[in-house]
Structure 1
Amino acid sequence: MNEQSKKLRLTLNCAIFAAVTAIMAQVEVPLPLVPISGQTLAVGITATILGSRQGAVAMVCYAAIGTAGLPVFAGLSGGPQILAGPTGGYIIGFIAAAFFTGLILEKTRYTIPMAMIANTAGMIITLMFGTIQLKFIVDLGWKEALASGVYPFVFVGLIKAFLASWIGITVRKQLIQASLITETYKKTA
Protein backbone atom coordinates (compact mmCIF):
# COMPACT_ATOMS: atom_id res chain seq x y z
CA MET A 1 0.00 0.00 0.00
CA ASN A 2 1.45 3.35 -1.00
CA GLU A 3 1.69 6.38 1.26
CA GLN A 4 -1.27 8.14 -0.34
CA SER A 5 -3.51 5.09 0.21
CA LYS A 6 -2.42 4.89 3.86
CA LYS A 7 -3.26 8.55 4.43
CA LEU A 8 -6.65 8.12 2.77
CA ARG A 9 -7.40 5.08 4.92
CA LEU A 10 -6.40 6.94 8.11
CA THR A 11 -8.57 9.90 7.14
CA LEU A 12 -11.55 7.66 6.36
CA ASN A 13 -11.16 5.74 9.64
CA CYS A 14 -11.16 8.99 11.61
CA ALA A 15 -14.16 10.34 9.69
CA ILE A 16 -16.12 7.10 10.11
CA PHE A 17 -15.54 7.00 13.87
CA ALA A 18 -16.34 10.71 14.25
CA ALA A 19 -19.63 9.92 12.48
CA VAL A 20 -20.26 6.91 14.74
CA THR A 21 -19.73 9.18 17.75
CA ALA A 22 -22.17 11.73 16.32
CA ILE A 23 -24.81 9.04 15.85
CA MET A 24 -24.25 7.56 19.32
CA ALA A 25 -24.50 11.05 20.84
CA GLN A 26 -28.18 11.04 19.94
CA VAL A 27 -28.84 8.07 22.22
CA GLU A 28 -29.38 9.93 25.47
CA VAL A 29 -31.09 9.97 28.82
CA PRO A 30 -31.69 13.56 29.93
CA LEU A 31 -30.54 14.62 33.39
CA PRO A 32 -30.69 18.12 34.92
CA LEU A 33 -27.23 19.35 33.89
CA VAL A 34 -25.46 16.63 31.89
CA PRO A 35 -27.28 13.89 29.93
CA ILE A 36 -26.19 10.27 29.82
CA SER A 37 -25.40 9.62 26.17
CA GLY A 38 -23.87 7.07 23.85
CA GLN A 39 -20.95 9.38 23.08
CA THR A 40 -18.68 7.88 25.71
CA LEU A 41 -19.42 4.37 24.45
CA ALA A 42 -18.42 5.51 20.96
CA VAL A 43 -15.23 7.12 22.32
CA GLY A 44 -14.24 3.84 23.98
CA ILE A 45 -15.00 1.77 20.89
CA THR A 46 -13.07 4.23 18.72
CA ALA A 47 -9.99 4.19 20.95
CA THR A 48 -10.06 0.42 21.32
CA ILE A 49 -10.25 -0.12 17.57
CA LEU A 50 -8.08 2.71 16.24
CA GLY A 51 -5.55 3.23 19.03
CA SER A 52 -4.23 6.40 20.61
CA ARG A 53 -3.37 8.70 17.71
CA GLN A 54 -6.17 7.82 15.31
CA GLY A 55 -8.69 7.62 18.14
CA ALA A 56 -7.72 11.09 19.37
CA VAL A 57 -7.81 12.49 15.81
CA ALA A 58 -11.30 11.03 15.33
CA MET A 59 -12.43 12.82 18.50
CA VAL A 60 -10.77 16.07 17.38
CA CYS A 61 -12.76 15.75 14.13
CA TYR A 62 -15.95 15.10 16.09
CA ALA A 63 -15.36 18.11 18.36
CA ALA A 64 -14.41 20.32 15.40
CA ILE A 65 -17.47 19.55 13.30
CA GLY A 66 -19.71 20.04 16.32
CA THR A 67 -18.00 23.29 17.23
CA ALA A 68 -18.41 24.45 13.63
CA GLY A 69 -22.16 24.17 14.15
CA LEU A 70 -23.16 20.77 12.80
CA PRO A 71 -25.68 19.14 15.18
CA VAL A 72 -23.49 16.19 16.22
CA PHE A 73 -23.42 16.66 19.97
CA ALA A 74 -26.03 15.18 22.33
CA GLY A 75 -29.57 16.34 21.62
CA LEU A 76 -28.67 17.28 18.02
CA SER A 77 -26.79 20.32 19.30
CA GLY A 78 -23.73 22.01 17.88
CA GLY A 79 -21.80 25.25 17.91
CA PRO A 80 -19.01 26.80 19.94
CA GLN A 81 -21.40 27.61 22.80
CA ILE A 82 -21.68 23.87 23.53
CA LEU A 83 -17.91 23.47 23.84
CA ALA A 84 -17.79 26.59 26.05
CA GLY A 85 -20.84 25.53 28.08
CA PRO A 86 -21.39 23.19 31.03
CA THR A 87 -20.95 19.98 29.01
CA GLY A 88 -18.02 21.14 26.87
CA GLY A 89 -15.41 19.69 29.21
CA TYR A 90 -16.72 16.21 28.53
CA ILE A 91 -16.30 16.72 24.78
CA ILE A 92 -12.75 18.00 25.27
CA GLY A 93 -12.18 15.05 27.60
CA PHE A 94 -13.15 12.66 24.77
CA ILE A 95 -9.91 13.59 22.98
CA ALA A 96 -7.72 12.87 26.00
CA ALA A 97 -9.75 9.75 26.88
CA ALA A 98 -9.39 8.32 23.37
CA PHE A 99 -5.66 8.99 23.37
CA PHE A 100 -4.98 7.45 26.78
CA THR A 101 -7.34 4.51 26.27
CA GLY A 102 -5.56 3.65 23.03
CA LEU A 103 -2.14 4.26 24.56
CA ILE A 104 -2.79 1.88 27.46
CA LEU A 105 -3.75 -0.83 24.99
CA GLU A 106 -0.75 -0.13 22.77
CA LYS A 107 1.61 -0.43 25.75
CA THR A 108 0.00 -3.61 27.11
CA ARG A 109 -2.16 -6.10 25.19
CA TYR A 110 -5.30 -5.92 23.11
CA THR A 111 -7.43 -8.18 25.29
CA ILE A 112 -10.88 -7.60 26.72
CA PRO A 113 -9.61 -7.38 30.34
CA MET A 114 -6.91 -4.83 29.38
CA ALA A 115 -9.42 -2.94 27.26
CA MET A 116 -11.76 -2.82 30.27
CA ILE A 117 -8.98 -1.24 32.36
CA ALA A 118 -8.12 1.18 29.53
CA ASN A 119 -11.76 2.15 28.95
CA THR A 120 -12.34 2.65 32.68
CA ALA A 121 -9.33 4.98 32.73
CA GLY A 122 -10.81 6.78 29.72
CA MET A 123 -14.12 7.16 31.56
CA ILE A 124 -12.32 8.70 34.54
CA ILE A 125 -10.47 11.12 32.26
CA THR A 126 -13.70 12.19 30.55
CA LEU A 127 -15.47 12.67 33.89
CA MET A 128 -12.52 14.65 35.25
CA PHE A 129 -12.46 17.08 32.30
CA GLY A 130 -16.24 17.38 32.29
CA THR A 131 -16.62 17.95 36.01
CA ILE A 132 -13.92 20.61 36.16
CA GLN A 133 -15.57 22.64 33.40
CA LEU A 134 -19.06 22.03 34.84
CA LYS A 135 -17.92 23.31 38.25
CA PHE A 136 -16.57 26.57 36.88
CA ILE A 137 -19.17 27.29 34.19
CA VAL A 138 -22.17 26.64 36.44
CA ASP A 139 -20.34 28.01 39.50
CA LEU A 140 -20.83 24.91 41.64
CA GLY A 141 -18.92 23.76 44.68
CA TRP A 142 -16.91 20.58 44.28
CA LYS A 143 -19.54 18.54 46.13
CA GLU A 144 -22.30 19.72 43.79
CA ALA A 145 -20.11 19.32 40.70
CA LEU A 146 -19.31 15.72 41.63
CA ALA A 147 -22.99 15.04 42.40
CA SER A 148 -24.02 16.36 38.96
CA GLY A 149 -20.99 15.51 36.86
CA VAL A 150 -19.60 12.21 38.16
CA TYR A 151 -21.83 10.16 40.45
CA PRO A 152 -24.74 9.65 37.99
CA PHE A 153 -22.29 8.32 35.38
CA VAL A 154 -20.07 5.84 37.23
CA PHE A 155 -22.28 2.74 37.07
CA VAL A 156 -23.41 3.37 33.49
CA GLY A 157 -19.80 4.26 32.62
CA LEU A 158 -18.57 0.87 33.82
CA ILE A 159 -21.19 -0.85 31.68
CA LYS A 160 -20.12 1.26 28.70
CA ALA A 161 -16.44 0.46 29.42
CA PHE A 162 -17.24 -3.25 29.27
CA LEU A 163 -19.30 -2.88 26.07
CA ALA A 164 -16.61 -0.71 24.43
CA SER A 165 -13.99 -3.29 25.36
CA TRP A 166 -15.93 -6.27 24.07
CA ILE A 167 -17.17 -4.57 20.88
CA GLY A 168 -13.85 -2.82 20.24
CA ILE A 169 -11.64 -5.90 20.60
CA THR A 170 -14.05 -8.05 18.55
CA VAL A 171 -14.37 -5.52 15.72
CA ARG A 172 -10.66 -4.68 15.78
CA LYS A 173 -9.70 -8.33 15.21
CA GLN A 174 -12.12 -8.54 12.28
CA LEU A 175 -10.89 -5.28 10.72
CA ILE A 176 -7.26 -6.39 10.99
CA GLN A 177 -8.16 -9.74 9.45
CA ALA A 178 -9.94 -7.97 6.58
CA SER A 179 -6.97 -5.56 6.22
CA LEU A 180 -9.23 -2.57 6.80
CA ILE A 181 -7.00 -1.33 9.61
CA THR A 182 -3.34 -2.09 10.00
CA GLU A 183 -1.64 -3.63 12.96
CA THR A 184 0.77 -0.95 14.10
CA TYR A 185 1.27 -1.85 17.72
CA LYS A 186 3.76 -4.01 19.53
CA LYS A 187 1.34 -6.44 21.16
CA THR A 188 -2.06 -7.85 20.24
CA ALA A 189 -4.43 -10.49 21.49
Structure 2
Amino acid sequence: MNSAQSTKIHNLTFIGLLAALICVLAPISFPIPISPVPISMAFLAVYFCAIVGGMKRGTISVVVYILLGGIGVPVFAGWTAGFQKLAGPTGGYLIGYLFLAAITGYFADRFEDKIPICLFGMIMGTLICYLFGTVWLAVLMKVSFGKALFMGVIPYLPGDAVKIALALLSAFPLRKRLKSAGIV
Protein backbone atom coordinates (compact mmCIF):
# COMPACT_ATOMS: atom_id res chain seq x y z
CA MET A 1 0.00 0.00 0.00
CA ASN A 2 1.40 3.38 -0.94
CA SER A 3 1.36 6.55 1.13
CA ALA A 4 -1.60 8.09 -0.72
CA GLN A 5 -3.74 5.00 -0.11
CA SER A 6 -2.71 4.91 3.52
CA THR A 7 -3.63 8.59 3.95
CA LYS A 8 -7.00 8.03 2.29
CA ILE A 9 -7.77 5.06 4.55
CA HIS A 10 -6.65 7.08 7.58
CA ASN A 11 -8.93 10.00 6.64
CA LEU A 12 -11.92 7.76 5.95
CA THR A 13 -11.44 5.97 9.26
CA PHE A 14 -11.10 9.25 11.13
CA ILE A 15 -14.25 10.66 9.47
CA GLY A 16 -16.09 7.44 10.34
CA LEU A 17 -15.09 7.77 13.99
CA LEU A 18 -16.21 11.40 14.08
CA ALA A 19 -19.55 10.50 12.46
CA ALA A 20 -19.97 7.66 14.95
CA LEU A 21 -19.44 10.09 17.82
CA ILE A 22 -22.20 12.34 16.46
CA CYS A 23 -24.45 9.29 15.97
CA VAL A 24 -23.94 8.27 19.60
CA LEU A 25 -24.39 11.71 21.19
CA ALA A 26 -27.04 13.36 18.97
CA PRO A 27 -29.93 11.01 19.86
CA ILE A 28 -29.58 11.90 23.54
CA SER A 29 -32.31 14.48 23.89
CA PHE A 30 -34.98 15.88 26.15
CA PRO A 31 -38.27 17.28 24.83
CA ILE A 32 -39.44 20.61 26.14
CA PRO A 33 -43.12 21.58 26.21
CA ILE A 34 -42.79 24.94 24.45
CA SER A 35 -41.13 23.64 21.30
CA PRO A 36 -41.07 20.79 18.81
CA VAL A 37 -37.27 21.10 19.01
CA PRO A 38 -35.78 19.00 21.82
CA ILE A 39 -32.68 19.78 23.82
CA SER A 40 -30.06 17.44 22.37
CA MET A 41 -26.37 16.69 22.56
CA ALA A 42 -25.99 17.16 18.78
CA PHE A 43 -24.49 20.65 19.05
CA LEU A 44 -21.83 19.39 21.46
CA ALA A 45 -21.01 16.49 19.13
CA VAL A 46 -20.76 18.76 16.08
CA TYR A 47 -18.60 21.31 17.89
CA PHE A 48 -16.29 18.56 19.11
CA CYS A 49 -15.97 16.86 15.72
CA ALA A 50 -15.42 20.13 13.87
CA ILE A 51 -12.64 21.18 16.25
CA VAL A 52 -10.92 17.80 16.35
CA GLY A 53 -11.41 16.96 12.66
CA GLY A 54 -11.18 20.43 11.21
CA MET A 55 -13.35 21.92 8.50
CA LYS A 56 -13.16 19.15 5.89
CA ARG A 57 -13.33 16.03 8.06
CA GLY A 58 -15.73 17.61 10.58
CA THR A 59 -18.16 18.68 7.86
CA ILE A 60 -17.99 15.35 6.05
CA SER A 61 -18.72 13.57 9.35
CA VAL A 62 -21.89 15.68 9.67
CA VAL A 63 -22.87 14.76 6.08
CA VAL A 64 -22.44 11.08 6.99
CA TYR A 65 -24.54 11.57 10.14
CA ILE A 66 -27.36 13.28 8.20
CA LEU A 67 -27.32 10.64 5.46
CA LEU A 68 -27.39 7.80 8.01
CA GLY A 69 -30.33 9.40 9.77
CA GLY A 70 -32.03 10.11 6.47
CA ILE A 71 -31.89 6.49 5.31
CA GLY A 72 -33.36 5.21 8.55
CA VAL A 73 -30.60 4.70 11.10
CA PRO A 74 -32.04 6.12 14.37
CA VAL A 75 -29.39 8.76 15.05
CA PHE A 76 -31.49 11.92 15.20
CA ALA A 77 -32.81 13.37 18.47
CA GLY A 78 -34.80 10.85 20.47
CA TRP A 79 -33.40 7.95 18.42
CA THR A 80 -35.52 8.88 15.41
CA ALA A 81 -34.68 8.67 11.73
CA GLY A 82 -35.92 9.20 8.19
CA PHE A 83 -36.02 11.92 5.60
CA GLN A 84 -39.32 13.05 7.15
CA LYS A 85 -37.22 14.33 10.09
CA LEU A 86 -35.26 16.47 7.64
CA ALA A 87 -38.57 17.85 6.36
CA GLY A 88 -39.96 18.31 9.89
CA PRO A 89 -39.57 21.10 12.47
CA THR A 90 -35.94 20.21 13.26
CA GLY A 91 -34.87 19.89 9.61
CA GLY A 92 -33.42 23.38 9.39
CA TYR A 93 -31.23 22.76 12.41
CA LEU A 94 -30.04 19.43 10.98
CA ILE A 95 -29.02 21.17 7.73
CA GLY A 96 -27.57 24.01 9.81
CA TYR A 97 -25.16 21.53 11.41
CA LEU A 98 -23.29 21.48 8.10
CA PHE A 99 -22.59 25.20 8.38
CA LEU A 100 -21.87 24.91 12.08
CA ALA A 101 -19.24 22.24 11.38
CA ALA A 102 -17.74 24.06 8.39
CA ILE A 103 -17.39 27.40 10.16
CA THR A 104 -16.20 25.96 13.48
CA GLY A 105 -13.77 23.67 11.65
CA TYR A 106 -12.45 26.52 9.53
CA PHE A 107 -11.64 28.58 12.60
CA ALA A 108 -10.13 25.57 14.37
CA ASP A 109 -7.89 24.90 11.34
CA ARG A 110 -6.79 28.50 10.88
CA PHE A 111 -6.56 29.72 14.47
CA GLU A 112 -6.11 26.62 16.63
CA ASP A 113 -3.79 28.40 19.07
CA LYS A 114 -6.10 31.40 19.42
CA ILE A 115 -9.01 30.17 21.49
CA PRO A 116 -10.89 33.52 21.57
CA ILE A 117 -10.90 33.62 17.76
CA CYS A 118 -12.05 29.98 17.66
CA LEU A 119 -14.80 30.85 20.13
CA PHE A 120 -15.88 33.61 17.76
CA GLY A 121 -16.02 31.04 14.94
CA MET A 122 -18.11 28.67 17.05
CA ILE A 123 -20.54 31.46 17.86
CA MET A 124 -20.77 32.45 14.18
CA GLY A 125 -21.42 28.84 13.18
CA THR A 126 -24.06 28.56 15.88
CA LEU A 127 -25.79 31.73 14.69
CA ILE A 128 -25.91 30.43 11.10
CA CYS A 129 -27.32 27.11 12.33
CA TYR A 130 -29.89 28.98 14.43
CA LEU A 131 -30.82 31.09 11.40
CA PHE A 132 -31.44 28.04 9.19
CA GLY A 133 -33.39 26.29 11.92
CA THR A 134 -35.47 29.31 12.86
CA VAL A 135 -36.44 30.19 9.28
CA TRP A 136 -37.33 26.54 8.61
CA LEU A 137 -39.34 26.30 11.82
CA ALA A 138 -41.20 29.56 11.11
CA VAL A 139 -42.16 28.47 7.60
CA LEU A 140 -43.13 24.94 8.62
CA MET A 141 -45.11 25.94 11.71
CA LYS A 142 -46.58 29.03 9.99
CA VAL A 143 -45.45 31.34 12.78
CA SER A 144 -43.50 34.60 12.80
CA PHE A 145 -39.73 34.60 12.85
CA GLY A 146 -39.86 36.01 16.41
CA LYS A 147 -42.16 33.22 17.61
CA ALA A 148 -39.93 30.62 15.94
CA LEU A 149 -36.90 32.24 17.58
CA PHE A 150 -38.55 31.84 20.96
CA MET A 151 -39.50 28.23 20.18
CA GLY A 152 -36.21 27.11 18.65
CA VAL A 153 -33.39 29.30 19.97
CA ILE A 154 -34.01 31.35 23.12
CA PRO A 155 -34.59 28.40 25.51
CA TYR A 156 -31.43 26.70 24.23
CA LEU A 157 -28.95 29.55 24.60
CA PRO A 158 -27.70 28.69 28.13
CA GLY A 159 -27.26 25.01 27.30
CA ASP A 160 -25.53 25.76 24.01
CA ALA A 161 -23.15 28.12 25.82
CA VAL A 162 -22.25 25.24 28.15
CA LYS A 163 -21.75 22.95 25.13
CA ILE A 164 -19.41 25.50 23.54
CA ALA A 165 -17.40 25.69 26.77
CA LEU A 166 -17.21 21.89 27.05
CA ALA A 167 -16.07 21.58 23.44
CA LEU A 168 -13.42 24.28 23.89
CA LEU A 169 -12.10 22.64 27.05
CA SER A 170 -12.02 19.10 25.68
CA ALA A 171 -11.66 19.21 21.89
CA PHE A 172 -8.70 21.59 21.56
CA PRO A 173 -6.46 19.64 23.95
CA LEU A 174 -7.38 16.43 22.13
CA ARG A 175 -6.73 18.06 18.75
CA LYS A 176 -3.25 19.11 19.92
CA ARG A 177 -2.46 15.61 21.17
CA LEU A 178 -3.70 13.99 17.98
CA LYS A 179 -1.71 16.47 15.94
CA SER A 180 1.51 15.82 17.89
CA ALA A 181 0.91 12.08 17.38
CA GLY A 182 0.54 12.63 13.63
CA ILE A 183 -3.10 11.53 13.57
CA VAL A 184 -4.63 14.88 12.59
TM-score bucket of the superposed structures, by smaller chain = over 0.9
| 1: CA distance, partners of 2:90 / 2:19 | 18
Q: Which runs of 5+ in 1 are unaligned?
A: 182-189
Q: Are the equivalent residues in 2 in contact too, given 1:43–1:59 (CA < 8 A)?
A: yes
Aligned length: 181
- Tell me the secondary structure at the aligned position of residue 21 of structure 1: helix
Q: Deviations over 1:69-97 (max 9, x none)?
A: 10011100010000111101111111111
Which one of the candidate residues 47, 50, 56 is aligned to 1:53?
56
Q: Which runs of 5+ in 2 are unaligned?
A: none
* Aligned residue number for residue 148 of structure 1: 151
Q: Deviations over 1:137-173 (max 9, x none)?
A: 1111112101101101111111111111111101101
Q: Are the equivalent residues in 1 in contact too, given 2:111–2:118 (CA < 8 A)?
A: no
Say yes or no: does 1:40 pair with 2:80: no
- Tell me the secondary structure at the aligned position of residue 170 of structure 1: helix
Pairwise CA RMSD: 1.4
Q: Deviations over 1:80-130 (max 9, x none)?
A: 000111101111111111001111233334343333222222221211111
* Aligned residue number for residue 67 of structure 1: 70
Q: Which amino acid aligns with 2:29?
A: E
TM-score, normalization by structure 2: 0.93
| 1: CA distance, partners of 2:79 / 2:90 | 14
* Aligned residue number for residue 159 of structure 1: 162
1:1-189 equivalences under 5 Å are 2-31=3-32, 32-181=35-184
